[in-house]
A and B are shown apart, each in its own frame.
Chain A
Amino acid sequence: DVKVTQSSRYLVKRTGEKVFLECVQDMDHENMFWYRQDPGLGLRLIYFSYDVKMKEKGDIPEGYSVSREKKERFSLILESASTNQTSMYLCASSLTGFGANVLTFGAGSRLTVL
């Protein structure tokens, strides 16, 4: 069964802390994505990657960075967490080409920044 695994289901961090959210997929997918989901705002794309060491900004990249050193792993980094980054973070992956919009999502990481 294909899987996208997010390292932490729940995190609580303090303002100013550096936060790493890890995502691993076992499907050999080329594409990986990070979204955040907030009530009333839906899912918004933060960053995505089409290949190792490649990254593209989504709709709301400010305050975030990403790393993709290996094909199966895509990390989201909050350099200095702020309270407005309290959210549910969702990682997804997909094949390239025709299957690019068929995303497999992880279970999500709920981050609270105090």
Chain B
Amino acid sequence: DAKTTQPPSMDCAEGRAANLPCNHSTISGNEYVYWYRQIHSQGPQYIIHGLKNNETNEMASLIITEDRKSSTLILPHATLRDTAVYYCIVRVSRDDTIIFGKGTRLHILP
């Protein structure tokens, strides 16, 4: 089972890019990297996922290193509404269901 390591918390100034790191050194070759976030008192929200190549959508960019042992989620222009807990997930159970870790609490500072 692949596991992730994320910093417990980070700060980012409003308007700046927020770069959230994730280490997953034991990831298997066919395991995807998923990112979710959870704003206070709401359900988690899917952000993005990727396998090898960098990915971008309307919410964020995902940069995966060539050896796939780490990745970075980038919110290009952080706003106060991006304050949330961000989960990096590569671990999939025997039933192929994703498993959430503790995540990174991102504080966007005005």
A interface, CB within 8 angstroms of B: 4, 33, 42-43, 45, 48, 56, 58-59, 90-92, 100-108
The secondary-structure label for the interface of chain B is: loop
* B residues whose Cβ falls under 8 Å from a Cβ of A: 32, 34, 36, 41-46, 49, 89, 92-93, 95-103
* Chain A binding surface SS class: strand
The reply to whether B44 and A101 contact each other, CB–CB distance below 8 Å, is: no
Q: Which of A48, A59, A102, A104 contacts B49 (CB 8 A)?
A: A102
Verify B97–A108 contact, CB threshold 8 A: no
What are the residues of chain B within 8 A of A91 when measuring CB–CB? 43
Q: A56-B95, A58-B97 are in contact. Are A101 and B43 (CB under 8 A)?
A: no
The answer to whether A90 and B95 touch across the interface, beta carbons within 8 angstroms, is no
CA distance A97 to B96 in the complex (A): 10
Set of chain B residues within 8 Å of A42, measured between Cβ atoms:
100-103
Closest residue of chain B to A105 (Cβ to Cβ) is: B43
CA gap between A104 and B17 in the complex, in Å = 26
Chain A: CB-nearest residue to B45: A105
Docked-complex contact A101 and B92, CB < 8 angstroms: yes
